[in-house]
Structure 1
Amino acid sequence: MADGAASVVSTAGYDGDDRISALHDDLLCAIISRLSVTDAARTTALGPRWRHLWHSTPLALDDADLHKSVRDAVVPRILADHPGPFRSVILAEVRFASLDHELAEWPSLLATKGIQILALVDKHIQSHHTSRRLPAEILRCVSLQRLLLGFWTFPVDLSRGADVIFPHLQRLNMIGNAMSDHDLEYLLAASPVLKIITLARNKLKHVHLRSQSLQCVVIGRSAVKEVAVMETPLLDRLILLEPSPSAVGSARLRIKIACAANLRVLGYLEPRAHKLQIGYEVIEPNIMASPRAVLPSVKILALKVNFGVFGEVNMLARFLRCFPNVDTLHIESLPHDPSIPGYELTGELQEYHAKFWQGVSPIKCLRSHVNRMVLHKYRGYQNEFEFLKFIAKDAPELQSLVLVPHEESFTLPDEMNEMIDRLGCPRFRAWTSKVLLVLTKVDIGFGVMTASDLTVEDPFRCSMHG
C-alpha cells in the first residue's frame, strides 16, 4: 500500500471514542425508536444513560421480532416495564392465554400507553373453539390511529352502549371476528375521522355504512347478506373482494347504494354473487331499469363474468347501463365450468350469445365515456370474442384495450393475433390493430393493501408489461 493511501486509512479509521453517546438525547431517542424492540432493549446494556433513553423512547413492539422460545415471556415484560408511549404494538404471534397468565392487566396497560398503531391477531384459536373475548379496554385506546383486530369475539357490553370512542382512528381492519351488526355500526359512529375500513371473514349479516368521514370500504369473503351504503358523502371507493361461497347462487349478496354522491371506484361486481340495488330499484335481468337507477359518479368499474353463462352475460349489459360515466372498465373472465348452473357452451347457444350482443342497444358509458378497458384472465372463448366485437362497434371513445391472458391460455401475442385472424372479420382486425395491447407478463398487484391505498388511482390495475 502506498504511503498516501495508508495515511488516508489512518486518519479515517476508528479512534476508539464513543461518538454515538455524545449525541443529544433527542437524536438518540430517534435512533432507538427506529430499532426493532429487541435491538432497542439491548441498548440498555450500554450504561445508565441508555437505560433512561430506552424508557423515554416511543417504541415499536412487533412480537414477530422476538424468538419463539422467549416471546410469551418477553412481551408482558416489555408492556409492564416500558411506560410508553408506543408508536405501534403488533401482537400476532404471542399466545394470549399465556399473556393473560403472565400479565392479567395487559389490556388496561395498552389503553394507557398512547399507542398509535395496534394489531391484535389471535392465531392460536382452535378451529372447534369459539374465539377469545376481546377485552373491552382495547376499545378505549383513545390514542389509536390504526387498529387491526383478528379472530376475536366482541364484548357483550358493546351492544349496551359501552363508552367507546376513537377520536383519532383513521384505519380499521377487522378479520374473522364474531360481532353483531350493531357492533360495527357502533364502531363507525365512535370513529369520527375514520377513512378506511376493511372487513373480511367477519360474522356479520348486514353492513350498514353511515359515516361522514369514510373514504374507502373493502369487504372480502364475508358471509354478509347485505351491504348498504346509506350516508357516506366522502366515500370514494367500495371494493368487493372474493365473495363468500354462500353468496354464489340464489343467496346473492345485496349491494344497496342509497347515498354515495362521490363514489368513484366500484368493484368487483359479480352477477353470480351480487344483487345490485340503486336507491329503491333492484337491477333485474329481464326488467328495464328506470333512468334514475344510475350512479353517475363512478369512473372506474370492475366486474367478474362467466361468459359461458348467459344469465351473467345478460346482467353484464344491465350493470353497465347503471354507470353512464365510467371511463375505465375492468372485466375479469371467470373459467367455464359445466358444473355451474346455467353453463352453456354448445354451438347453438354460442350463436345465441352472438345474436344477443348484436341486438343490444347502445350503452351510454361505452358509447360516450369508456376510453380504457382491461379484460383480465382472457381465455380465448368464442363468447369473449362476441363481447369484444360488441365493444368494437359500440365504444368509439376507446383508446386502449388491454387483454391479460389467463396463464394457461396464451404465451405470446402472436398466438392472440392468429386467433383474431381466424375470426375472419377484417373490420374487427383493423380495430384491434389500433387499440389492442396483449400482455406477456403481469405482476398481480390487486389485494387488500392495494385496494385500500388511497394513493393508488386505479386499485384494479396490475403492473403490466406488453
Structure 2
Amino acid sequence: MEMAMEMEAGDPPGVGEDGGGVDVISDLPDDLLGEIITLLPTKDGARTQILARRWRHLWSSSPLNLDCRGLVKHRIDLPGVVSRILTSHLAPCRRFWVDLHDLMRIGATEDEFLRMNAAVDQWLRSAALCNLQELGVSLSYHLKHPIASYISRLSTILRVATIANCNLHDSTVQGLRFPQLKQLALESVRISEYSLHHMIAGCPALERLLINCSFGFRCVRINSLSLTSIGVHVWSTWYNELKLEELVVENAPCLMRLLHLDQNVDGEHLHISVISAPKLETLRYLSNFTKISFGSAVIQGLRVDSPTAVVRTVKILVVDMHILSLDTVINLMGFFPCMEKLHIECSLHSFQAGPTNAWRRRKQMNLIGPLDIPLKTIVLEQYRGTKSQVSFLTFFVLNARLLQLMTFGIRTKDNSEEFLAEQRRKLQLEDRVSRDAQFYFTTDRYIRNY
C-alpha cells in the first residue's frame, strides 16, 4: 500500500512514482481490491480514491464499511456526512457502526439529542442497509429508539450484532430471531432473564456470545449446539439492578472458550457451573470473584475441593493470582492434567509478598508425578525478578520437558541489558531441561480484550 500511495494520479497501473517501480497491489483485480478496501476503517477506505486513476471508483463500488466513530471532528457534522455516504455509495453497506452514547454524553443540548435521534432513525431505515451483515449500535438511555424494530428488519441477514446502552423490553424482544447470526455482544444493556434466554435461543447458528456489563437478570443458562465462545463481564456500577450471579452451561457440545472477563478492582462474584461442555479448552476465571463447578468438583478461589476429580479437556488456563504460589499451580495442574498453556495475571503489588516457592521435590513430585508436566507455554505478567517469582519459574525451567515458550511481562524501566542478563542467570535458563524452549521478555502490556 505504501508503494501505491506514492503513485501520481495519472500513472497507469503497475508503474511507480519514478516510472520504473512495480505496483503489485494495483495489478490485483477490482473485486479483490474492493474486499481489501472494505476491511479498512471508513476514512482510510475513502482516501484510497486519491491513490491513482485506477482507484477512483473502487471505494464507492466496494461493499461499504461505515463506522461513524471518529468519522467527523465535530458531532454536528455527523448527520449530514453519514446521510450523504449512505445515499451516494454505489455498493450496499456490509458493516454499520454508530456510537451515540459516547458521542452525545458530553455537553449535548436537547436540540442535538433530537436531531441525532432523527438522524439515527433515518439511517437505520435506509435501503442501503438491506444487505447488512454486521451491525453495531451504542445508543443512549436519553434517546427513545425502538431499537428492536430496526433490528427485526435486519435480523434475517445479520451475522454480527453488537447492541449497547439501551433497554431491550420483553414486548419487543419476543419476536426477534436471527437465523444467520454468528456473533452477539450485549454491552450495558438492560434486559430481563426471560428475554435474554429467548434472544439466545433465537440464534441457532450463534458461535460467539459476549455479555458485558449488562443487567436485569440474575442467571444465564446456556443450551446451544453451536456456541464455541462465551465471555461475561459483571460490573458493580449498576446499583439497585439485577446483576449476573450465575452462569450455567447445561449443554454446549461445541463450546471451546469460557471467559470471566472482569478486572479485579471492580469484579462481582460469579458462580460458573459447567454441566456439559465436552470440548472446553480455554478457561479464564478470577480467583477472588469466581466459583466454578465441574460436576461435583468445585474450584473456590485457587483451591480444588476434590483431590481425585480431573477435567482433561482444558488446555489453556488464564487465572489471576494475588500471591504467586507454586503449590497452588501444581494443584491446578492436577485438576487440569492436559493443560498446555498457563497465563498468570498478577496484581501490581503481588510481587511484594508471598511464599518463597522453593522447590520441595518429594512433596511436589508426589502431586504431579515424576516429571509429568504438560505445560508448553507459560506467561507471567508483572515480572519483577523477586525471589518468589524466580523460584516459581525456575521450577518449570528445570523440570518442564515439553516447555516451548516462557514469556515475562516487565516494566519499561526494567528493559535494560543488565536487568535481563541478571534474570537469565537467576532463572538458570542455560540449564533448562527443554533445550528447544524460548524465553521472551516483553514490555508490551497484556490487554485482556473481548
Using the size of structure 1 for normalisation, the TM-score is 0.67
Give the corresponding residue for 1:21: none
Give the corresponding residue for 2:290: 274
| Residue deviations 1:10-50 (CA, integer Å, cap 9, x gap) | 9x9xxxxxxxxxxxxxx79x96995859998xx9xxxxxx9
- The alpha carbon displacement at 1:371 in A equals 2.7
Query: 1:39 & 1:418 partners in 2: Cα distance?
Result: 48
- The alpha carbon displacement at 1:362 in A equals 2.0
| Residue deviations 1:229-277 (CA, integer Å, cap 9, x gap) | 2211111212333436453xxx63222211111111222x231222121
Please, which of 266, 276, 281 is the counterpart of residue 259 of structure 1? 276
Give the corresponding residue for 1:457: none
Query: 2:142 & 2:392 partners in 1: Cα distance?
Result: 48
Give the corresponding residue for 1:71: 78
CA contact (8 A) 1:229 1:256 kept: yes
Any residues of structure 2 matched to 1:365-380 within 5 Å, and which? 367-380=372-385
Secondary structure, counterpart of 1:88 in structure 2: strand
Which letter maps to 2:422? E
Any residues of structure 2 matched to 1:10-29 within 5 Å, and which? none
Aligned pair 1:402/2:409, yes or no? no
Query: 1:416 & 1:32 partners in 2: Cα distance?
Result: 44
| Aligned length, in residue pairs | 389
Any residues of structure 2 matched to 1:74-223 within 5 Å, and which? 74-75=81-82, 85-93=92-100, 97-101=114-118, 104=121, 107-109=124-126, 113-122=130-139, 125=140, 135-140=147-152, 141=154, 142-158=156-172, 162-203=174-215, 204-220=217-233, 222-223=235-236
Give the corresponding residue for 2:440: 439
Secondary structure, counterpart of 1:167 in structure 2: coil
Secondary structure, counterpart of 1:177 in structure 2: strand
Query: 2:220 & 2:250 partners in 1: Cα distance?
Result: 10
Give the corresponding residue for 1:239: 259
Secondary structure, counterpart of 2:367 in structure 1: coil
Percent of residue pairs identical: 21
CA contact (8 A) 1:147 1:172 kept: yes
Query: Which runs of 5 or more residues in structure 1 are unaligned?
Result: 1-8, 13-26, 44-49, 452-466
Query: 1:31 & 1:75 partners in 2: Cα distance?
Result: 20
Which letter maps to 2:289? A
| 1:283/1:314 CA distance change after superposition, 3 Å | farther
| 1:276/1:186 CA distance change after superposition, 3 Å | same
Secondary structure, counterpart of 1:100 in structure 2: helix
Query: 2:143 & 2:295 partners in 1: Cα distance?
Result: 37
| Residue deviations 1:385-414 (CA, integer Å, cap 9, x gap) | 343354357x44333352414206732465
Tell me the C-alpha RMSD between the 2 structures: 4.5
- The alpha carbon displacement at 1:305 in A equals 1.0
Give the corresponding residue for 2:387: 382
- The alpha carbon displacement at 1:168 in A equals 1.0
Using the size of structure 2 for normalisation, the TM-score is 0.69
| Residue deviations 1:337-363 (CA, integer Å, cap 9, x gap) | 69xxxx955xxxx46x64889744423
Larger Rg: 1
- The alpha carbon displacement at 1:315 in A equals 5.0
Query: 2:128 & 2:151 partners in 1: Cα distance?
Result: 8
CA contact (8 A) 2:274 2:294 kept: yes
| 1:222/1:212 CA distance change after superposition, 3 Å | farther
